[in-house]
Structure 1
Amino acid sequence: MGIRENIIQLRELFGVTQEQLASIAGVSRGAVSQWEGGFSEPRMGSIQKIADYFRISKSNIIEDNGMSFIDPVTKKPKGSPYMPSGAIPVVASSATVPLLTLGRVHAGSLADEEEVAHRVEVPASVCAGHPRAFALEVEGDCMNRVIPEGSHVLVDPDRQPANGSIAVVETEDYRAVMRRWYKGSTKLMLSADSFEDYEDMIFGMDDGPVRVIGTVVWFQAANEME
């Protein structure tokens, strides 16, 4: 099963039309039809957009039988959470968890593959309750009343945020932000918790998808790191 078959199976699994997939990938509906007919293949930029939107890996689209690694019930990669670029899974030990954090999260965006030189230890008791969590380093001051800049945050991709939770989310234009989450019946508000002056980010029902990357469940301030 190659790219053509993977795209057909992806549309069937997630219940999207060719037109909807075209909008996600940033191409025309005719281009999707060409992909499924085997007359052309999507560019890597389109593949990345599709993978990011559905929280799957590019390999699920590119490799033979790639979609067979997507759980048909959860619609997630089997045994693997969605993680933003640069994040790595946390592996618990008997005492503490050595962790080399590769990702950074900002009030604006997640950096690509920017390595952080130091290490942070996450208590095994924390990891036990969040087995698929990953870590990111905080840049910016939009949450500095609670989480100082330079802290490491542990993000659980399986925990949906409740009102008031600190969430890492991705907006329609592929910007990732860390804010407090407040969702009403018709509006979603992402609010800073900062000593500085930041405007709330407010989204309506017609403003495009806001995807939850995960909920912050633990953090360690920079001055506590060894």
Structure 2
Amino acid sequence: MKAKLKAARDAIGLTQEQLADDVGISVSQISRFESGEREPRVGEIAAIAKRLRIRPSALIEDVIVSVVGRIGAGAEVIPLEDQSDIYQVEAPVPISPGMVGFEVEGESMWPRYDKGDILICSADGMPIETLSQDAEAAVQLIDGRRFIKRVRRENGAWRLESHNARPIEDVKIVWASRVAHVIRADEVRRVERIVERAATALRKSKRTTVLKLRKS
């Protein structure tokens, strides 16, 4: 961000002191941003970009996220069948390490999510027991299907609810993640397809995981 911030500030003739005063951030922080000593938070990026009259993404160094498959919002998506569509996209905000993208398939979660939206989630997920009632999460079931749904715990099993489709009852969740960020379909910028070798390795990894789960 450091070079982009200084260039954008210089382009409209703002000093570090003026920018800091206008956005309510200390001069020392602006200096750290421009030196690369510290990365700004999302809210700070938004405030700075607004003052500089540019899009927040214009301040961010290219952040590349791997889209590792599709996730169902009405459609049933099985990871073993969708890995040939792996690609990479530019993220418009800083993304924490360990994040991956899933492309939404289906319309049962509209208007929250549209087909083609990219959901940024944790590849490792979160402990299933920490899922709260009525939380919205990306989930994968023991049979391999993957969904974005509102989850509810009932009688020891999970119920997956949609905004405009019938719920899916009595399921076992083996992976879940909150949605950290959404890249809307009309804002998705593909970078390049990941080499087939990487896709093949991921397919094998997923297949092994599902087989182990089915045996357990």
Structure with the larger helix share: 2
Name which one, 1 or 2, has greater alpha-carbon Rg. 2
Structure with the larger strand share: 2
Structure having greater relative contact order (Cα 8 Å, sep ≥ 6): 2
